[in-house]
Structures are given as C-alpha cells and as structure tokens.
Structure 1
Amino acid sequence: MTDSIRSLTRAARRDARRDLRDGPAAIVRRQRAHLAEIVAYARENSAYYRELYRDLPDGVDDPALLPVTDKKLLMAHFDDWVTDRRVTREKVEAFVADPELVGARFQEDYLVATSSGTSGLRGLFLLDERNIAMSTVLASRTNGQLGVRDALRMLAHGLRTAAVTAPGGHFYTVAGMERFRRDHPRLSRIMRVFPIDQPLAAMVDGLNRYQPATLAGFLSSLTQLAGEQEAGRLRIRPSLVIPGGETLTPEARERLATAFHAKVRAAYAATECDFLSIGCAHGWYHVNADWVVVEPVDADGQPVLAGEPSHTVLISNLANRVQPFLRYDLGDSVLVRPDPCPCGNPLPALRVEGRAADMLTFPTRDGGHASISPMLFGTLLDRTPGIDRFQVVQTGPAEIRVRLEARQGADADVVWRAVRDEIAHLLTEHKADHVSVERAEEPPEQSRGGKVRRVVPLAPA
C-alpha cells in the first residue's frame, strides 16, 4: 500500500465516523466534493469520458448533469474508458484466462474481477488501491453495529470469515480474498473460501472444523446451510451472517437469524461498487452516500420519489479511478425509505425490489399483460415449509417451470403441492391464472459465477 493510500485510508476512517455523527447534510457535502473530484479526474485521464463530457461545465458536482452509462457501453469502449494507458482489454483478457493469477496484482496495482451478470455480458473490472481501501474503511460501519457480546464472540472465533461462493475464477469474492492472502500471508487463516461445487457434506464438515465468526455467501447457499444447521449436522455459531447476490425477504432473514443465532446483515453491492451499502437490523440497506451516489429513476431516466419503486438505479462509484463508474445503470429496482430508519443510521436507506430485467410478464385473459416481481415469488416460497432451494423459471409466455430441492426429512410431494398452490394463488391475483406451473425433475442450476438465480424470466427471442 502506497503512502498516499495510507494517508487516504486514515483520513477516510476519520471522515466516515464524523459523517455519521454530523448527519445527512455533512454526508451530502462530502458526496458532492468526491463527485466533483472524480468527474474532473475522469475527464482528464479517460479518452471516453473526455469526449462524453466535452459539453459539460467545469466543476460538475451534480450527478444529474452527467450522461448515463452501462456495462455494454463501457465494455465496448474499454481501452478509452480506463484511465491508465498501460491497461488494454487484450492484456486484461489474457490475465483472466490464467487461473493461477486469481488475486494477483495486474500491472502491479490493480485487482481484476470478472462478472457475467444476469445479462450474460461479461464484465472485466479493475479495482485500484483507493477502491479496495474504501471497501475496508466502510465495512467498519457494519462492525460498529455489533454489540459487545457479538464482538467477543468474533474474537473467540479468531475473526475468521467463511465465504461460500463460486469455485475459483476471477469473480470478485474469490479474487478479493485471494488478494488479501497474497498481501497478508500471516493473516491468510482468517479468510477461507468454501466452493459451492463441493459436496454439501464436505462443506458442512469443513465449516464445522473452521468455526467462522462471519459467514458470507449467496442467499441460496446460506439458506441450504441453514437447513443443515437446523438438522444438527452443521454446528457453527457465527456472530454475523452476510447473505448477498439475491433479494433477502423477511422470511429468509428470520430463518438465517434463528438457525445460526446470529445477526443478519444483508449485503447489497456489485463488483462495480462493492462498498455500495451496509445492511441494518430492520432490513434496510444504508447507502455509503459519502462515497457512492445512488439515483433511483423511472423508465425514462427521471428521478422517482422516495417510497416509490424505481425502474432501475444509477450508481456513481466515487473511489475507483482506474475505471470510473459514473451514472452507471445497475439494473435493479429499488425503493428509498421516505423517513428516518428506526435503526438510527443517518445514511439514506433503500430496499431492493429486484432487477427490472427479472420481472416475469404473462399475457392476461383480457388481452393485457401482468408483470410480477421476483420478490413476490421469493416471499411466497421462503415461507413455504420444507424447501431447501428453489428456482422459478419462465419457459414460455404462459409457462413456469419450478426446480425444487426439498429439505432433508420433508416429503417432496407435499412440498411441491404447497408450492404449486402458492404460485397458483399469486398468478390468480394478477389475472394470470391460465399460466401452467410445471414441476421440474432437475435441481436449481447455478450460473458461471456460482449464483443460483431464484427467479429467471423468459429469455428474449
């Protein structure tokens, strides 16, 4: 870590504490200052942004003045987008093709992470030391929510973190943990990846021996482990459980908290901005608004009011300079809390309704269309007894295929009938009762990144 990054980290830790203490107005001031800094940096060092912003005034600190970007657009201009002239897409492609380089420093400075995303378009992302340092600094806000008892439990478990995630590859979680081990070999024992492609019994055995203080991973994987904990085969006592990758329903949160006797703090983040938010005990995501801008917008790109679900959300990562993500369309539908959160955190709070692209749309009998949020399916099936994992797949305009794994000891046929009845009731409520619901023989399928998308819409023709 360079002296400049150490200095930034020390200042950021001090500012992070002060911003929470001083309240929303101070957070907004800090955000605008950081936005002006990175916009100026992008215009000076990125050929893509220099052209994109050529008609903008100097000193822009209002995100609404900036054009919208997205993964497809930025990846198409990769070599002009990056601010380090040593970096080219060809070099990054060659780097990620070598599995031995996971977590290694690219050009001596950067962490490289790949992301396929729900669109199927692979992203090649570089995170600089500034971004990585900010991830550590802002993560301390989560730790600050733990009480003395939880902190002592974490110390008793040696601060060990278990990440249940993709099996290898340059995906962010794996690459980030490997980077930590490479940079801090003496501390490598406090972080361990548990690949989800290993047999469940082997994972349970490994976790029982490791006894993590923090358990993190995809929600679908952690839900499966909760079943093992409930059955008595998994016997761990983490202080903190961090589910990510999917929208956490209240039912799923309660199950994880009860099974592990732990605090559950869901993570809403992306490879493009891994420090986007921190979860609270009331189920809200508090945006680290001093270092990231979050703009919920409608289908026309106009701001939506607090309390209303957005069509998508635009984010601006104010720390990462090698690949500036500015007004970047993340694709999620979010709802911003219109009043202060009862947890007392002054950072703006939001909930994720799901990805706009994940909405399941069916023809109705009257010739119209019914769109159903993936969160509604998740809420229904999370509260259905006996389910270990599920995946709802729209296979046709009026067809749904449900992949189920029943919990050990549960009657799979009874579970299926309950699931079928719940989905049928939901479809009837949306005037789509003619949609067929089919039971699949195959289990839920994983993406290349290891995530099980619990709700999969009809693929475009």
Structure 2
Amino acid sequence: MAILHPTPPAATPPPNSPARERYCAVREQALAELHAFEALDRARVRPWQLDRLSEQVAYARRESPFYRRQFAEAAPPDGSDGEKLLAALPFTTKKDLRDGYPLGLIAAPLTSLARYGESTGSTGSPTSSAITYRDWVRGNVSTEQSVGHRYGPGDTVFVAIPYELSFAAYDVDRALETVGATVVGVGILSAVCPIERTARMIAALRPAGIVCSPTRALRLFDLLTEMGHDPAALGVRTVLYVGETCSPAKLAKISRMWQAELVPAYGTTETNSLALSCGHGRAHLTEDRHLFEVLDPLTAAPLADGTTGELVVTTLVAEAMPLLRYRTGDLVSIAPEPCPCGSVRRTVRHHGRASDRLLVDGRPIDRLDLEEAVLSVPGTGLYYAAGIRDERLHIRVECAGRAARQVCTDIADGVEARFGAAATVTEVDRATVGRAMDRMLKPGNLTLEDLEAAR
C-alpha cells in the first residue's frame, strides 16, 4: 500500500500577508475604540452612545429588510435628539427574530459574514444570528481584556460550554489563546468527550481554570470526588461561569468546594457578550458596543439603577445584525455605584429570565430568589428543583449534614415567611439529579419533570 505524504500544516500567515494585515488592522482599530471609550468619564458615556445610536438607526433603516419594513410603517423622529429617538423606537422581540429566521434581520451583504449561529431552541423555535469579521474582532478584544485578568502563559483552561452553533465558546477560546493560555475545548454533551472524560482530563491536566455553567461545575466536582480525587487540590483557581444565573448561596458553595474564585460573563445568542468580568470579579456591561435599558417587564417603564427589571439592548456598532431595543427577556439589575476597578462601564447582575418566574397564588417568585431561600438553609446540599403542581409550590432538594425531614421543614417555613407561599418540600438524592443533569444542555434549568424522567 502506498504511503501518502502527509499534508503539511498550514503556516502562520507571514507578517505582510493580506490575511495578517487585515486582522492586525481590524484588531488595532477595535483596541483603540475600546481604550478611547474607557478613557471617557461617566458623564460623557451617554452622549457618546446617543451619537452612535443615530448612526445605527440610520444604518438599520437603510440596510436591514426587517427595519426597512418597520420604519416604512412608522418612521423614527429626527436623530438630532438621541433620547427622543431611543424612546420612539419600537421594541424588537424574540418573535420578530423567529419570524425573520434565518436571514431576515441581516443588514450586511452575505459575502461579508464571518460567522452564523443559532439558539438552542430549547424554549421555542430557534433564532439566528450573524456577525461580520469586524463585529467578531470587536467582541473578541473585549473578551481578551477580560480573561487576561486571570489567565496567561502557562495556564491550562477547559472550555466546557457548547461549541455547536455558538459564538461564546469560540470567543472565549480565541481570547484565551491570544493571552497565551493553553485551551482544552471539551464542550458539553459530546459523544467524543462526555462529562466523565472531561472530569478525568481535569484530574490529569490540573487546569488553572474552567469555563462552564455553575451547575456543570457542581457535577464535575461530584464526578471527580467519585473517582477518588480532591477537586480542591487540582489547582483550579477560577471558574468563569456562563450560561445560567446563580444565587449567592449556590456560588458560595461552589467556591468553597473548589477553593476557587467564581467570576461571571453574560451574553445572548443574538448579541454575543453583553457583560464581562474585571479583575474584581464584577460583570461590566459592554457599553462601548451596546446601549442598555432596564424596564418594567409588564409596563415597559424605565427603572432606576439598582432595580431589577428586563434588560433591553440596542446595538451601537453592529454591522451584520443591528438590533434596536431588543427585549432580551432577561431580568437584571445594574449597580448604581462605580466598580473599584475604575472602569467607566457599569456593572450588572443577571437574575434569570422573566419567563422563569413561578406564579404562586397570583404572586410571581423569581427563581433566583427562591434558590437563595432554599440553598441558604443549613443542611441543604447542592441541588434543588421547583415547580407548580395543583396550584401549589413543590420543591425537591438534596439534603446533607442534617436530618432531611428537619431540613425540608425549615425550607418550607422559610419560603412561607419570605414569599407568603406554602410549599411542599421533599428530599431528592444526588444520583437522580446526576442522571437528569447529564442529559441536559442547561442543567441549571433542572425541573421536577427532569427529576421524574431520571428516576
């Protein structure tokens, strides 16, 4: 049998190659834009954003099929007054994105698109998104600045979030590579690299960091412990958590278990990164690329910083897919005080999705607040699930360290005192939770139905 000559690996583009020149030019411009924004004082941020809002609205109106139709029916006012322009813009909704699938909201020529992605479709029909090369590099330099606070040459970092149809995993992957870290792209729910293999590799390679959801970090801890390892002794310094929100009680438990710092990043399929952490571990809004509003989910009235409401996002410099007043459906609160790191960009806390609220006797309960109330009770373990059955709140929780009956009673009493809602609380064993989570793309969304299916 003839031996084929192996194809030589592609060489790094020489310094004077068109590809290299293109990347360097776009990257340098993106870094200059980011540093110029960071040099603003807070009073200058809003006028700076409103100037770009006028340009983005004009671009969307001219180039996006969706917004051309929107503005044909109701043209926006003159862009000279940015605040009036913003308030007059109609909202863009998830339904608009689904109706426009796959390319109805694309404003750039298809030949200029660098990446195309879609949502998981776990909560309905998928939505699509696309970015140009300039969009991609602009976002990537921001991610690079963020991960550079914690990782560098000599650090191995596992990226355990979905690579399929996603921008986020590749964004973090490339940023880590740029700052000099060694990247292990394991993804999740992969037949090639199931979570058990990821755990074994973590034990063997002893990484400095893991990028995953908080619940995935818990599951990895369990598996490593079952394999006879002490996860806290493996050298993980930082867990960069994405993909789900998390209560302070749960974060504290994960941090203690791993003996690691947990830092957040937040984004959406349609926008990629919206908040990235600084050296102090706080998530800063990408206000150089997006204008953010926090509105009452029911009335759409503006809410003050520090108040929890729905995040509404307007892109400011997007080429491929401009979005005007996009209702994310996510509940957030923006901190009213500046961050000690000195960045001009405000910090945000993600509280979950508005649709995840549980309605008990006509009163909404945020899942994040419920998680805090449950997992802060002494004797609770790491996992819980909640739902409504027969118009009553039902909670299943792992119990550890105290008698389960007493733990469940304490949770029920605490929930009634805090939310005015009676709850039925029962124990669930960790093995059942593990079986349920290993089949889930987003294990932080664990439900009563998931637990029943895993019995």
TM > 0.5: yes
Q: Indicate if the aligned counterparts of 1:267 and 1:277 stay in contact, CA closer than 8 A.
A: yes
Match of 1:69 among 83, 92, 97: 92
Q: Indicate if the aligned counterparts of 2:98 and 2:125 stay in contact, CA closer than 8 A.
A: no
Is 2:130 the counterpart of 1:122? no
Distance 2:41 2:100 in 1: 39
Is 2:54 the counterpart of 1:36? yes
Distance 1:50 1:2 in 2: 36
Q: 1:432 to 1:386 in 2, by over 3 A?
A: closer
Q: 1:243 to 1:347 in 2, by over 3 A?
A: same
Which position in structure 1 is the counterpart of 2:452? none
Q: Indicate if the aligned counterparts of 1:114 and 1:172 stay in contact, CA closer than 8 A.
A: no
| Matching residue's letter, 2:137 | A
| Matching residue's letter, 1:275 | S
Aligned residues: 413
Which position in structure 2 is the counterpart of 1:190? 183
Which position in structure 1 is the counterpart of 2:16? none
Is 2:164 the counterpart of 1:164? no
Which position in structure 2 is the counterpart of 1:426? 415
> Alpha-carbon deviations, 1:255-308, whole Å to 9, x = none?
444444443221121122222112357664321211111100112212111222
User: Per-residue deviation at 1:118?
Assistant: 6.1
Q: Indicate if the aligned counterparts of 1:243 and 1:266 stay in contact, CA closer than 8 A.
A: yes
Q: 1:8 to 1:356 in 2, by over 3 A?
A: same
Which position in structure 2 is the counterpart of 1:324? 322
Q: Indicate if the aligned counterparts of 2:186 and 2:198 stay in contact, CA closer than 8 A.
A: no
Distance 2:320 2:243 in 1: 25
Which position in structure 2 is the counterpart of 1:303? 302
| Matching residue's letter, 1:290 | D
Distance 1:448 1:35 in 2: 42
Is 2:106 the counterpart of 1:82? yes
**TM-score for both structures, normalised by structure 1:** 0.77
Which position in structure 2 is the counterpart of 1:92? none
- Within a 5 Å distance, the mapping from 1:365-376 to structure 2 comes to 369-376=362-369
Q: Indicate if the aligned counterparts of 2:313 and 2:323 stay in contact, CA closer than 8 A.
A: yes
User: Per-residue deviation at 1:436?
Assistant: 2.9
Q: Secondary structure at the match of 1:278?
A: strand
| Matching residue's letter, 1:73 | D
User: Per-residue deviation at 1:359?
Assistant: 1.1
- Within a 5 Å distance, the mapping from 1:74-223 to structure 2 comes to 74-78=97-101, 79-84=103-108, 86=110, 109-116=113-120, 119-143=123-147, 146=149, 154-157=152-155, 160-166=156-162, 169-174=164-169, 190-196=183-189, 200-223=195-218
User: Per-residue deviation at 1:233?
Assistant: 3.7
User: Per-residue deviation at 1:28?
Assistant: 3.0
- Within a 5 Å distance, the mapping from 1:2-81 to structure 2 comes to 6-54=24-72, 55-59=75-79, 61-62=82-83, 63-78=86-101, 79-81=103-105
Q: 1:34 to 1:456 in 2, by over 3 A?
A: farther
Gaps of 5+ in 2: 1-18, 450-455
Which position in structure 2 is the counterpart of 1:96? none
Q: 1:321 to 1:455 in 2, by over 3 A?
A: same
Distance 2:106 2:321 in 1: 5
Of structures 1 and 2, the larger Rg is shown by 2
| Matching residue's letter, 1:302 | A
**What is the alpha-carbon root mean square deviation over aligned residues?**
3.5
Distance 2:197 2:44 in 1: 49
Distance 2:276 2:212 in 1: 15
Which position in structure 2 is the counterpart of 1:452? 443
**TM-score for both structures, normalised by structure 2:** 0.78
Distance 1:354 1:416 in 2: 30
Higher mean C-alpha displacement, 109-118 vs 442-451? 442-451
Distance 2:133 2:413 in 1: 50
Q: Secondary structure at the match of 1:41?
A: helix
Q: 1:257 to 1:439 in 2, by over 3 A?
A: closer
